Structure 1
Amino acid sequence: MQVKVTGDGKPLVLVPGGLTGWLSWENHAGYLSKTRKIILVQLLNVQYGFENRRLPTRYSVKMESQALASTLDELGLSAAVDIAAWSYGALVTLDYALDNPNRIRSLVLIEPPANWVLHALGKVDSEAQQNEATLRMLHGDISEEKLEQFLCAVGFCPPGQSPRSLPQWPLWVQYRQALRNSPAVLAHKDELKRLRAFRRPVLLVKGTGSAKFLHQIIDALSTELPRTQVVEMPAGHAPQIVSMD
């Protein structure tokens, strides 16, 4: 993984979302690096998408989480660390944490698309199925129309408003090929017993007005993980960007 390291102090790893990648954490990194050593990573799918390269044939969430493990190893981070992660990055981070619980001090997971949890609990309703259908079509060339459907499916669109009218639209268009990772979200599977065995503290974050299925995932994780706290903040699927403090 590409990585940026700034600041000094206790390490804090920031794992971004799967569309614009580490741009979503750059302001936070600048602020937090005043008191912490910030490790800001770039997801493979974002790097490949921005370079308009095909993802590896066997690309998966596990490939991303193993790349995260290798990156932290290369940085010599052998002690347990705090990790804050958003969206697709939060799904990758959850997989990394379940594989490496002794390397985690605490987690902040912001709206991870851990659909596998809903499937394992038998809680996939019709709305979740519709959102999965949207993710399933995001492969090959990602058109602006597909980008628009994705943004509305995950809660970026204010009611009655097209994402094309938002100031972020040109940036989203620039990074849209990163969404080729979407089928990997649906292909990822895990076991509830791994959640129940994870004993590190986890802060779960919802965004007010985000997609219903993402809130259902947060609710499910809060019951399956032993040590959790749930908070809700405004701004849909990107609460940490608007509520930076």
Structure 2
Amino acid sequence: AEVTGHGPPLVLVPGGLTGWISWEPHAKHLSNTRTVVRAQLLSVQYGLEDRPLPPDYSTKTESRALAETLDELGLTSNLDIAAWSYGALVALDYALDHQDRVRTLTLIEPPAFWVLKASGGLDAEAQEVAETLGSFGGDISEDDLERFACAVGLCRPGQSPRALPQWPVWMRHRRSLRNCSAPLTHADDPARLRAFQHPVLLVKGTGSAQFLHQSIDALAALLPQGRVIEMPGGHAPHIVSMDRFLEQLTSFLSLEAKAA
């Protein structure tokens, strides 16, 4: 993890493709008033090193690794956590396991398949996405990366992700996608969501994949203090609409600090 700035701790957990570099511009801004921790996902690091994931790898593996990192940094109370995509699923699991350590959660487009299954919301389109994600493993090809980007809403319908400026960076990180089956097999109890008494900001990106918005709606229905906002950007609203996201995040954290 990278730690910058001074002030109350803010933990940034990244998406499962490019990892912690996705939070770099946000960290520069937020570290003016916060101690910002940019975590890395194990699966992203393993992918960059072209190492196979452990046979027992799971979302819980990442959640426990995040816990170990925060323990080592001495960050065990009043944590504000903001997380994107697969990292948001990891952060949610961490928060449910350590409710006494968390002050707020901000979850951007989490692939919470387990919540959809529990709420009966896993429709044919979501199942099709799950089949696509579950097919990735071993060598990740350019075609696999393209299918992933289209499936999760990183590009507009009919647009080739290969034409996007991010494509070369995605290609360097493509082996991260060996983690794609982990969200599919992760399971939990909705009662843990109903018992979570901390504020949760749920962020949708306009034009993202339907199953991701369904996941957010299902979470909002279960979390006592969950609220939903939406902004442009497909699956990456905090990057595409960065200024607006930072404004909303800062406002959310400030309001909750006053309420506390």
1:142 maps to which of 135, 140, 143: 140
Count of equivalent residues = 243
Task: Give CA deviations for 1:87-137 in whole Å, capped at 9, x if unaligned.
Answer: 000000000000000110000000000100011111111100110010110
Give, in angstroms, the shift of residue 26 of structure 1: 0.1
Instruction: Give CA deviations for 1:34-76 in whole Å, capped at 9, x if unaligned.
Output: 1100000100000000111001111000010000001000001
Matching residue of 1:174: 172
Structure 2 SS opposite 1:190: coil
Task: Point out where structure 2 has 5 or more consecutive residues left out of the alignment.
Answer: 244-260
Unaligned 5+ runs, structure 1? none
Deviation at 1:188, TM superposition (A): 0.4
- Report the equivalent of 2:27: 29
Amino acid in structure 1 at the alignment position of 2:190: L
Amino acid at match of 2:223: L
* Structure 2 match to 1:82: 80
RMSD of equivalent CA atoms:
0.6
Aligned to 1:240: 238
SS of 1:5's partner is: strand
Distance 1:182 1:213 in 2: 15
User: 1:151 aligns to what?
Assistant: 149
| 3-state SS, counterpart of residue 106 of structure 1 | strand
8 A contact 2:150–2:157 mirrored in 1 = no
Does residue 182 of structure 2 align to residue 190 of structure 1?
Answer: no
C-alpha distance in structure 1 between counterparts of 2:6 and 2:154, whole Å: 34
Report the secondary structure of 1:108's partner residue: strand
Distance 1:16 1:212 in 2: 21
- After superposition, the C-alpha distances for 1:171-229 in whole angstroms (9 at most, x for unaligned) are 10110000000111111000100000000000000000000000000000000010011
In 2, Cα distance between equivalents of 1:160 and 1:112: 24
Task: Note the 1:1-245 alignment, pairs <5 A.
Answer: 3-245=1-243
How far residue 160 of structure 1 moved from its aligned partner, in angstroms, is 1.5
**Alignment partner of 2:54: what SS?**
coil
2:180 is paired with a residue of what secondary structure? Answer: helix
C-alpha distance in structure 2 between counterparts of 1:122 and 1:84, whole Å: 27
Contact 2:13 2:91 in 1 (8 A): yes
Q: Do the aligned partners of 2:17 and 2:177 also contact (CA within 8 Å) in 1?
A: yes
Greater mean deviation of Cα atoms: 153-162 or 21-30? 153-162
CA distance in 2, matches of 1:133, 1:89: 20
Give identity over the alignment, percent. Answer: 66
Task: Please give the TM-score of this superposition, normalised by the length of structure 1.
Answer: 0.98
CA distance in 1, matches of 2:77, 2:124: 43
SS in 2 for 1:22: helix
Secondary structure at the counterpart of residue 240 of structure 1: helix
Structure 2: how far apart are the matches of 1:208 and 1:193? 29
Instruction: Report the TM-score when normalising by structure 2.
Output: 0.93
Q: Which amino acid aligns with 1:215?
A: H
CA–CA separation in structure 2 for the residues paired with 1:4 and 1:196: 33
Deviation at 1:78, TM superposition (A): 2.4
1:157 deviates by 1.4
Residue type at the aligned position of 2:65: A
Report SS of the residue matched to 2:37: strand
Q: Does the residue aligned with 1:157 lie in a helix, a strand or coil?
A: coil
Other structure's SS at 1:138 match: coil
Distance in 2, matches of 1:235 and 1:78, equals 33
